[in-house]
Amino acid sequence: MSRTDRQPRQRLAPEERRDAITAAAATAFAAHPYDEVALATIAAAAGASEALVYRYFDGKADLYATVVRLAIDRLVARQAEALAALPAGVSARDRVRTSLLVCLDHVREQPTAWAAHLLALGAEPEPAARIRRDARRDDVDRLRDLLLPDQGARHEYALWGFFGFLDAACLHWVATGCPEDDRWSLIDAALGALEGALGDWGR
């Protein structure tokens, strides 16, 4: 006997279906830790079956990695756009400040999703963790290009250490509810930490 209470699924083109599943996954992972999200829940939110999700993704870990990669890509694109809008001759400090402002906007938009991997170290699936490691190397490379610091060991440690400081500072900001009044205090502290580690701004 056929079911009559089941809502018919909307027919979508393959790319539209993949986008719908990815969007549903992004919403779910933004609200709950990875381990608490069921693939069946994502499928239902996307108007798809769990079997259909497997047509587009190898499983939950693959889908989660896709969500992580897209979020990182959006942040990088927004930072690049903000930097491109700056007038010529802007100081290195102001370029870094501009990138930080975009970063804090990103954190505040989805604080739970942003903080999850830092609060549960080792719990993230390896595909997503690998994406984050690659993204961190890219972050350091972009910062190096902004600053053109000396090539000595001190400056290399300063670049890597800056992002560790920023992660910890943003975690505290998230824990306190991302108060707007603290935004500039966080930015000034991060800029000060980087300047102190570098010794100078390079250019």
- The CATH label, of 3.30.70.380, 3.20.20.190, 1.10.10.60, 3.40.50.2000, for the domain at 11-57 is 1.10.10.60
91-149 residue pLDDT tens: 999 999 999 999 999 999 999 889 988 987 657 899 999 999 999 999 999 999 988 76
Q: Where are the domains of the chain?
A: 11-57, 63-198
- Tokens representing 2 are 């056929």
- Residue 4 pLDDT: 39
57-70 residue pLDDT tens: 999 999 999 999 99
- Residue 9 pLDDT: 54
Give the orientation angle of helix 153-175 with respect to helix 126-147, to 10 degrees: 120
- Residue 10 pLDDT: 60
> Residue holding tokens 């890509």?
73
Q: Model confidence at 45, in pLDDT bands (50, 70, 90)?
A: very high
Residue 165: what residue type? Answer: F
Q: In three state form, how does the secondary structure of the chain look?
A: CCCCCCCCCCCCCHHHHHHHHHHHHHHHHHHCCHHHCCHHHHHHHCCCCHHHHHHHCCCHHHHHHHHHHHHHHHHHHHHHHHHHCCCCCCCHHHHHHHHHHHHHHHHHHCHHHHHHHHHCCCCCCHHHHHHHHHHHHHHHHHHHHHHCCCCCHHHHHHHHHHHHHHHHHHHHHHHCCCCHHHHHHHHHHHHHHHHHHHCCCCC
Q: Model confidence at 203, in pLDDT bands (50, 70, 90)?
A: low
- The CATH label, of 1.10.357.10, 1.10.8.590, 3.40.50.2000, 3.40.50.300, for the domain at 63-198 is 1.10.357.10
Nearest-angstrom CA–CA distance, 55 and 12: 14
Instruction: Give yes or no on whether 11-57 and 63-198 have one common fold.
Output: no
